[in-house]
Amino acid sequence: MIDHLALQVADVPAAAAFYTTAFAPAGLHEIMRFGTPGGPVVGMGGPDGHPELWLGPLTEGTERPVHLALRVPSRSAVDEVFALVRELGAPVLHEPRVWPEYHPGYYGAFFRDPDGNNVEAVHHTTPG
Domains 1-55 and 65-128 fall in the same CATH topology: yes
Instruction: Give yes or no for a contact between 98 and 29, defined as CB atoms under 8 angstroms apart.
Output: no
pLDDT score of 29: 92
- Please report, for the chain, the start and end positions of each structural domain, with discontinuous segments joined by +: 1-55, 65-128
All residues at 6 or more sequence positions from 62 whose CB lies less than 8 Å from its CB, including other chains: none
Give the dihedral sign, CA 87/80/72/43: negative
Assign domain 1-55 one CATH number from 3.10.180.10, 3.90.660.10, 3.40.50.300, 3.40.50.970. Answer: 3.10.180.10
CB 68 within 8 A of CB 2: yes
Give pLDDT, residue 94: 96
Please tell me the pTM assigned to this model.
0.68
**pLDDT in the model for residue 78:** 92
The list of the chain residues with pLDDT below 50 reads none
Considering the domain 65-128, what is its CATH architecture?
Roll (3.10)
